[in-house]
Chains A and B, each alone.
Chain A
């Protein structure tokens, strides 16, 4: 039983990263109509910014400030990408955005590999989150519990922002009909830039959270993003809550598979993706593109 709970926990943690990343992808796809293949590279940048903020002699401010600073820094980088490149793709086929962001991902990863190689840089767990708790039925490392809880809070806060606030109403309306929303007096291009920044910031936040667990590597996002895209395909691109739930659920399913049939644990998400595509090509909660 211990092993089952341990795998469930691993599943929940992976699910946290899937949820944060697919949420950002869903937000970006909704507003910009762009399939953001650079998402994994931006996640990796988040982890690296956190690494510098911990280990650089001049920048060292530690883990907690990095949770805020890294998403902002990487978010600004994302907004520069949007202003200088992505905005020109408005109205073109999805393929252009996909190719451009894929190219950006390759360049960013290449630059980091050039300076940091391919092996992982260690990132120490902050003191306050070291150690573990004995829950009776299992041992819970505090940091891992923190990642799951904090990710859940961030996901729900993002859902609340988009579904329940006035700003979110602008976003949803602009997703449907940007021209009309602009004609009501709202600066839609600026809102699009900020939305991209928000999605990218979520990816960077996931990167910071993952740094103490998975180490910091230039290709850490490249490995993860493929699975995240499968998650997004299963959940459907259109829905915020859908991408959160699918993210966590698939993490858990992966964990369960690791326990019951470990050989399939790396493929189960893709098998599910194929099944969903056969039955419901727009994804479980998605709208038609």
Chain B
């Protein structure tokens, strides 16, 4: 991947301090109660990873923050503003961007349209040249149908399109799922670079070996609750516990 400098990411992230504060977050899918009181914080400029088994509630946590879970209670503060009752279009316009697990590439749109779909919500997004610099494959396939791309390219497109918008807080749901090791590495480099440029990233991962290459801190989710949290520096000390949590 090319190594030219990326433009200044949104200034917001550079200020440091608490950018996201989640307290006692509960969420329901229809009748089933998925989150039972999630508490955690993300500081500006950090990469924070939610670890946990399938069905633990990681994805639901991201979706609840994004406002796309119908029933949710508790408090989610983004830049000190409570967004628990805010609709997802308004949340996006506050500067939160979401890259879903299934990637959400639109088949009726070509790659260019997919890339340009999310509206710019504030100044400070990456210009297209820098996005192509990060993901050169996309530039060559601009006129392909979105879903004709390989899995890795689709993942890159899904990340690329939210970098344009000026959102400073990115939520990536299992960006490495189902991808070849070399692509995973490329995505790891990208995340590291975005972090260097001041983006704040909340990551959901099952693959903690991958997560350990990019994360500053971890939270472990189980049965819809945060049951543990530690910094990357303490990963080795927590390895045994982690194996028990994740069942690996």
Contact = CB atoms under 8 A, between A and B. Distances in A.
7 contacts: A176-B108, A179-B68, A182-B89, A183-B89, A183-B98, A184-B89, A184-B117
B87 interface: yes
B67 to A, nearest CB: 7
Interface of chain A: mostly helix, strand, loop or mixed: helix
A187 B89 contact: yes
Nearest to B97: A184
A169 B89 contact: no
Interface in B114-133: 116-119, 121
B176 interface: no
A176 B107 contact: yes
A173 B108 contact: yes
B89 A176 contact: no
Contacts of A187: 89
Contacts of A173: 106, 108-109, 117
A184 B87 CA distance: 11
Contacts of B67: 183
B92 A169 contact: no
Contacts of B108: 172-173, 175-176
Contacts of A179: 68, 88
B165 A185 contact: yes
A184 B66 CA distance: 10
Given A173-B109, A175-B108, A185-B118, A180 B100 contact: yes
Select the residue from B88, B119, B121, B162 with max chain A CB neighbours within 10 A: B88
Given A170-B117, A183-B98, A188-B89, A176 B165 contact: no
A2 interface: no
Given A181-B117, A182-B68, A183-B91, 10 more contacts: A175-B108, A177-B104, A182-B88, A183-B68, A183-B92, A184-B118, A184-B165, A185-B90, A185-B118, A187-B89
A170 B109 CA distance: 9
Contacts of B193: none
Contacts, number: 58
A181 B89 CA distance: 8
A149 interface: no
Contacts of B66: 183
Nearest to B93: A185
B223 to A, nearest CB: 25
A169 B109 contact: yes
A228 B56 CA distance: 50
A182 B90 CA distance: 9
B197 interface: no
A181 B92 CA distance: 10
B39 interface: no
A129 interface: no
Contact of B106 (A166, A176, A185): A176
B106 A186 contact: no
Contacts of A175: 108
Contacts of A180: 98, 100, 104
Contact of B121 (A169, A170, A182, A185): A185
B113 interface: yes
A198 to B, nearest CB: 18
A169 B68 contact: no
Select the residue from B66, B98, B118, B165 with max chain A CB neighbours within 10 A: B118
Contacts of A169: 109, 113, 116-117
A185 to B, nearest CB: 3
B126 to A, nearest CB: 16
B98 to A, nearest CB: 5
A186 B89 contact: yes
A184 B119 contact: yes
Contacts of B104: 177, 180
Interface string B79-96: 000000001111111000
Interface in A173-208: 173, 175-177, 179-188
A30 to B, nearest CB: 10
Contacts of B68: 179, 182-183
Contacts of B91: 183
A22 B218 CA distance: 54
B117 A185 contact: no
B99 to A, nearest CB: 10
Nearest to A176: B106
A170 B87 CA distance: 18
Nearest to A163: B108
